Amino acid sequence: MIYLLISILASTAIFVVFKLFKKYGVNTLHSIVVNYFTASFLGFLLYNGPIEPSEIIKTNWFIPAICLGFLFIAIFNVMALTAQKNGLSVASVASKMSVIIPIIFGIVIFKESVGAQKIIGILLALLAVYLTSIKQKDHTALTQSIYLPIILFLGSGIIDTSINYFAPNDKIALFSATIFAMAAIIGVVLLLGSLLKSKVRFKLINIPFGIALGIVNYGSIHFLLMALRVENTESSTLFTINHIAILALSTLIGLILFKEKISKKNWLGIILALISILLVTLA
C-alpha cells in the first residue's frame, strides 16, 4: 500500500500549500497555472520512453486526457464559486461525497466485490465526510445556486472515475503529463484574460508556491494511479480509503499546524473515518 500512502500524503500536502497561499499573499490563479506546468513537466520527465507527439495523438487515451484537462480547470472554478455562494462546508461535502461515483463505477462496471461489511464501511465513510466537513462558523446557503454543488459533485466524481478508467497501465506518467499540459494551456488563456481585465500583476512569489503545489499535485494523481494498477486492490476500496484518509489527515493537520477549531461533530467524523477505513480494508 506504499503507493496509496504516498498519494494520501501528497494530497494532504496540497491542503497545506493552499493554506500557505493566504498567509503569504499568493495569487491562487497565478500559482495554479504554474502548478499545472510543473506537474506536466514532472510527468514528461518521469516517463521512461520516447516522447513523440504524433504517437501520443494516436493513442486511445489522448482525447480523454484533453477532456480531463478541461475538467481540471472547470471544476476548480466551480469549487471556488460554490465556496463563495454556498459556503465552504457545502463545497467540501460536495467534492468529497463525489467519491461515491468511482465506487459505484468500480462495483457495477468492473464487477468488484460487494458485501455487507464493505457497504457499511462505505456508508460510514460518507457520513464521516459530512461530519468532518461541517464548520461551525461557516454560514451555508444550500438553496442558493443549488446547481453549483451538484456540478461540483458530478465533476469531481467524473474526474476520479475517468482517470482510473482511461489511464494506460504502462504510460501513467505520460497520461498524467498530457492532462496537466492541457490544463496548463487553458490556465494560461484564463490567466491572460485575468491580467488584461484586472490590475493584478504577476508576482514572483507565485512561482515557488506554484512549483511546490505542482509537485504534490502530480504526486497525488501519479501514485494513486500506481496504486490502482500495481497493488491489485479493487478501485472501490482504494478510492474510499484514499478520500477518507485525506479528509481525516488534513483535518488533523489543520488542528495541529494552523490551530483550526474542531467541533465534536468533526471529531466524530474522524473516528468514523478510521472505522470505515478498517471495515473497507478488511472486507
* Three cell numbers, residue 162: 475517468
The number of angstroms, rounded, from the C-alpha of 143 to the middle of its chain's C-alpha atoms is 25
Cα–Cα distance for residue pair 148/91, rounded to 1 Å: 9
Cα–Cα distance for residue pair 150/143, rounded to 1 Å: 11
Q: The cell 494560461 sits on which residue? A: 188
| Domain range annotation of the chain | 2-282
Question: What does the pLDDT read at residue 237?
Answer: 93
What angle do helix axes 62-86 and 28-46 make, rounded to 10 degrees?
150
Query: Mean pLDDT per segment of 10 residues, for the chain of length 283 residues?
Result: 93 89 87 94 94 92 95 86 73 86 94 92 93 69 72 94 93 95 93 83 92 96 92 87 91 87 90 94 83
Q: What is the DSSP letter of 218?
A: H
Cα–Cα distance for residue pair 217/99, rounded to 1 Å: 18
**pTM, full prediction:** 0.90
Question: What does the pLDDT read at residue 140?
Answer: 52
Spell out the alpha helix ranges (H) of 98-234: 100-108, 116-133, 147-166, 172-197, 206-230
